[in-house]
Structure 1
Amino acid sequence: MTTKKRVAILISGRGSNMAALIEAAKAPDYPAQIVGVFSNKPDAPGLDFARKNNIPTASVSHRDYASREAFDAEIEKALTNWAADFVCLAGFMRIFSTEFAQRWTGRILNIHPSLLPKYKGLHPQQQALNAHESESGCTVHWVTAELDAGPTILQRRVPILSGDTAETLAARILVEEHRAYPEALAKLARGEVAYAG
């Protein structure tokens, strides 16, 4: 039996994608195990879900640090403590320092609710609606120093329906996110995809 890859998850809120990864990793044949959940918000609801699933957690507020680099050093301590092979961002609402992003390039993933490279950053569902797109979706991608710009690992498409709001579109995309992220992580853990940036 191949050793399962050790994965840490970073969250800022409810962590629904974190929950999807935790649930997927419960399958005996899933090639990764979730070894820790870190949040920059000590009251993030997702931390409770992780604890209920017996996953170690750590949380420190970014507001307690004078610089992005100092805060990222705290994240690094947690990742080192958990001996993480890979990191998955699941609604982690912080931009990393260039040094941290470069150090983890090829080992850190994110999921974004648009078909990147379209509609980076905040409110991508509304951006898609404003542009009168016929479809949107989600993208699992490598994290690099540039926001939402890393190479794509996989995408899932969702049609935009007449009468959609940002909220209804986001809800339908989220269903696909919860399928796409565990699939992408499994591919990475099995060595089926690798960073080639």
Structure 2
Amino acid sequence: MLKLAVLISGGGSNLKALIEATSDPEFPAEIVCVGADTAAAGLAYAEAAGIPSFVVRPADHANRAEWGAALAAGIQNHGADLVVSAGLMRILPAGFVSEFSPRLINTHPALLPLFPGAHAVRDALAAGATETGVTVHIIDEGVDTGPVLRQAVVAVRAGEAEADLHERIKQEERPLLVRTVREIADGTLDLAAVAGAAAGAAAADLA
């Protein structure tokens, strides 16, 4: 059984989807803890499900590295095998990434490598994209630069507002994340192999 730590900052819709999935005894993963960087509304889902949770606020630490170390300690206390950034709205410090990657994944509301960063949906609309979507990827030390695991495409409707498009992306994001976690848990998706292949390709490009 794969043990998950889920990190959030807000309402926790992805967390809710994972809690619902892992409540099925046939699902090959369980959530052992939920961490947040603030008193996020989504922590209520963890409380309702009886899942341990903790809050590590950046303001309570001298710098990002210390915050990352405290966040990592909270996860390690629960023995998690995979860390899922499911709406954590902060860039994780390098020390945290090196501690957990490649067993550290994130969702992003675009078809990476297109439209990285905090305003992916807005950027896709500004570029006149006719389609965008969602990506589940391994977190590395860059911003939305880690190896892509799975993607789902969402068509952009003419004249669509950013909020409406983002909501439709979220409707694809939740099942894609659940499916990706299942594939990691059952061995269909090998994170170490994906990361190794990406590193090899990057090295070949530099040669």
Place the TM-score, normalised by the shorter chain, in its bin: over 0.9
Q: 2:88 aligns with which of 54, 72, 92?
A: 92
Deviation, 1:60, is 2.1
Give the match for residue 156 of structure 2. 160
Which structure 1 segments of 5+ residues have no match?
none
| Correspondence 1:170-185 to 2 at 5 A | 170-185=166-181
Q: Could you tell me whether the CA contact under 8 Å between 2:69 and 2:95 is conserved in 1?
A: no
> How far did residue 64 of structure 1 move?
1.0
Could you tell me whether the CA contact under 8 Å between 2:104 and 2:139 is conserved in 1? yes
Report deviation, 1:48: 1.0
Structure 2 residue 7 is matched with structure 1 residue 10:
yes
Deviating 4+ runs (over 4 angstroms): none
2:30 aligns to what? 33
Contact 2:131 2:156 in 1 (8 A): yes
1:21 aligns with 2:18: yes
For 1:117, the equivalent position in structure 2 comes to: 113
Counterpart of 1:19, as a letter, is K
Give the 3-state SS of the residue equivalent to 2:88 in structure 1. coil
Distance 1:194 1:144 in 2: 16
TM-score in terms of structure 1 length: 0.95
Distance 2:15 2:111 in 1: 20
Contact 1:154 1:180 in 2 (8 A): yes
State the SS of the aligned residue for 1:7: strand
Q: 1:104 aligns with which of 100, 103, 111?
A: 100
d(CA) in 2 for partners of 1:81, 1:190: 24
The correspondence for 1:50, drawn from 39, 46, 49, is 46
Q: Report Cα offsets for 1:54-101 as digits up to 9, x if no partner.
A: 110001211111111111111111111110000000110111221221
2:85 match: secondary structure: strand
User: How many aligned positions are there?
Assistant: 193
**1:28 Cα deviation from its structure 2 partner:** 1.4
Deviations 1:110-169 (A, max 9, x none): 000000001111111110011111101000000111111111110000100012111110
Gaps of 5+ in 2: 196-207
Q: Output the amino acid matched with 1:58.
A: F
C-alpha distance in 2, partners of 1:37/1:5?
A: 15
TM-score for both structures, normalised by structure 2: 0.91
Give the structure with the larger helix fraction.
2
